[in-house]
Amino acid sequence: MRRVHHGDTVIDPYEWLRDNHDPEVIAHLEAENAHTEARTAHLDDLTDAIFTEIRARTQETDLSVPTYTVHSPGDTVAYWYYVRTREGSEYPIYCRVAAGGGPGEPPDVERQIPGEEVLLDANAAAEGEDFFSLGAFVVSPSGRLLAYASDTSGDERFTLRIKDLSTGELLSDEIADIAYGVAWAGDTHLFYTRADAAWRPYVVLRHRLGTPVAADVEVLTEPDDRFWVGVGSSRDDAWIVIGAGSKLTSEYRLLPTDDPEGQPRLVAPRRQGVEYDVEPAGDRLLIVHNASAPDFELAQAPLEATSHEQWEPVMPHTPGVRIQDVSAYAGHVVVSLRRDGLSGVHVLSRNDDGDLGPGADLTFAEPLFDVYAVGGPNYVTDTVRIGFQSLVTPPTVYDVNLSTAELTLRKQTPVLPGPDGRAYLSSDYVQERRWATATDGTQIPLSIVRRADVSIDGSAPAFLYGYGSYEISIDPTFSIPRLSLLDRGFVYAIAHVRGGGEMGRAWYENGKTLTKMNTFTDFVAAADFLIAHDYTRAERLAAAGGSAGGLLLGAVANLAPDRFRAIHAAVPFVDALTTILNPDLPLTVMEWEEWGDPLHDADVYAYMKSYSPYENVAAVRYPAILATTSLNDTRVCYVEPAKWVAALRQQATNGEDRPILLKTEMVAGHGGVSGRYQAWREKAFEYAWLIDQVSSTK
């Protein structure tokens, strides 16, 4: 293919791989899979060993902490909702049991108890399918109906079904080809979204139960290709909340659920560069916004507000404290934020008039952690649920008393002994925060974990992970599969590079569009830090990233191929310029505010061409590379890693000891395979490949 933009002509010899309906393309991908299988056959025993370790350490028959939910406030209809997993089953089972004694202590549901209702057994729903994923699971306000949406190919286009929970029967209302987001208005109306050919959710529709789907009404259609839409409901079920947003701008509409066929009211018109979220809070609205507040602030507005001029600050902007989200309850408000590079939960009181009082952060003793407000479905409550974990502490669920901030432990994910019988002890591991110096002097945080008995003398193998886009933070969380690396002597590090959201909005702004190169040089600086401080050596350093993190890995492979022994790039965005040049491809126009618009801006074109991995493949010795992708991925098309691998094979000077491999899941999407055992097996293979590579001295 010949491509001409801004006076620059590019001949792309591998663009023919884009047509996934071409038998030659499918044959090519299958041949690549066969080649990868042959080149990695020697890893079967190690893959089996790691899979066995993951499975042994995981409590396969388990359940979530039950959540108390009141239906139809004022009535006595209440349930405890929870999710079961069973040994040997790929997917969860969604359950509930009637709550006769009020919110109190969650019931003991370690074993099936009388009165348990199975709302949805995903294993039964997935029977006969190679892939299964839920895009919605919402019980109606009365508790009588369940709306759930499923995808059986991985393309994130779902079929919505309605189940009568009193009879177990499916209603005739079945809606195909919906996107994410489903909301109930009473038990009579459903709101949902649909995506266009570019996979942009562009319309919110309303369905009245019992009527033909063809009669569904368009509630909001978004004509601007930069914007997507979403729909949800307020915690008190009083409002349908309809949002439209781009990467930089947002606006919201509210519709009373007791008037589902009415006209949604605009809370505040969109203003370019202003982002805001809306949380109905009884007699007022709470607004998180960035108008004149780069790290966002919390404001309140009248319930009937129609303009930003009605916003009144209640938690003013503090530079360096990134306010992310707010959840309103009758007596308190819970704010999710980031401070000093870590996530946080801040609780404010409300008086009898609903006014917000002083607040404080929940505090934790560990130096690194991830804490998040799980929240709760009930507007009137004395407690909310939070999740906590760290690199050494498994996921832990607490109930927080909103008045006293007292934490009640509800559950910590068990980590069972491995095949060797050794119990997991967090004291066997060390986590720490270190800082690498970027090329411009910026200090880049690293989160590092290792076994306490691993020597810091340069001899250990190491694994460096990164992402760095969309203001997404990669927090220091726990992972059972990661133990298979740590217990083999690996140092595991996360590079919190610019482009992510770890250090506030400026951290993101300095790693996007025409500053994107900072993301890549920050990652190299992180690798240099690990090497210079004797955590590892270049020949023992592996790196990994997925999606936009795959772009990071591809760019770094061109920028500093000598820093890494092996790279795993998952669903990698490695042909970024080709994709962002084509407005007809999925998501492209929406991405222009993240990457820039190379179609109309010559400077953006030149800048993207300077770092896009596929555009910059050279005749050098690269690290060993494993690229994994999925045929039905709608976010990063399989063709990007397929072309990248083909170009690398053509030009790289790697020997047999540094293979360049492509592995394509033929029935899966952006998240890879869907079943948990399949996912463990895939992770075991990826880790086995990296372990094998960094064990080589060639």
- % of residues, the chain, pLDDT over 70: 98
Q: What angle do CA 562, 567, 568 make, to 5 degrees?
A: 170
Dist. CA 621–CA 604, nearest whole Å: 29
- % of residues, the chain, pLDDT over 90: 93
Residue 100 is predicted with a pLDDT of 77
From the list 328, 367, 365, 323, the residue with the least C-alpha distance to 345 is: 323
Interval 641-680: pLDDT, tens:
999 999 999 999 999 999 999 999 999 999 999 999 999 9
Detail the DSSP E strand segments found in 530-587.
541-546, 566-570
Query: What's the whole-number mean pLDDT along residues 359-371?
Result: 96
Which residue shows structure tokens 């140092």? Answer: 491
Dist. CA 695–CA 100, nearest whole Å: 58
Determine if the pTM surpasses 0.85: yes
Domains of the chain: 2-57+428-695 (3.40.50.1820), 267-415 (2.130.10.120)
One-letter identity of residue 259: D
Residue 76 is predicted with a pLDDT of 64
Query: Model confidence at 74, in pLDDT bands (50, 70, 90)?
Result: low
Interval 323-335: pLDDT, tens:
999 999 999 999 9
Contact 561, 622 (CB under 8 A): yes
Contact 436, 495 (CB under 8 A): yes
Interval 288-320: pLDDT, tens:
999 999 999 999 999 999 999 999 999 999 999
Which residues touch 419 (CB under 8 Å, ≥6 apart)?
Answer: 49, 52, 53, 56
Which residue shows structure tokens 């948990």? Answer: 676
Dist. CA 143–CA 82, nearest whole Å: 14
End-to-end Cα, the chain, rounded Å? 38
Interval 600-616: pLDDT, tens:
999 999 999 999 999 99
Contact 611, 604 (CB under 8 A): no
Catalytic center residues:
547, 633, 670
Question: Where on the phi/psi map is residue 205: left (φ > 0), alpha (ψ -120 to 50), or beta?
Answer: beta
Residue 479 is predicted with a pLDDT of 98
Query: What are the two backbone dihedrals, phi and then psi, of residue 384, each rounded to the nearest 5 degrees?
Result: -130, 160
Query: What's the whole-number mean pLDDT along residues 132-136?
Result: 97
Dist. CA 165–CA 163, nearest whole Å: 6
Dist. CA 292–CA 308, nearest whole Å: 12
Interval 574-597: pLDDT, tens:
999 999 999 988 879 999 999 999
Q: How does the average pLDDT of the chain come out, rounded?
A: 96
Query: Model confidence at 534, in pLDDT bands (50, 70, 90)?
Result: very high
Which residues touch 330 (CB under 8 Å, ≥6 apart)?
Answer: 282, 350, 379, 380, 381
From the list 232, 147, 112, 222, the residue with the least C-alpha distance to 183 is: 232
Q: 67-81, 187-201, 508-522: which has the minimum mean pLDDT?
A: 67-81
Is pLDDT at 698 greater than 50 in this prediction? no
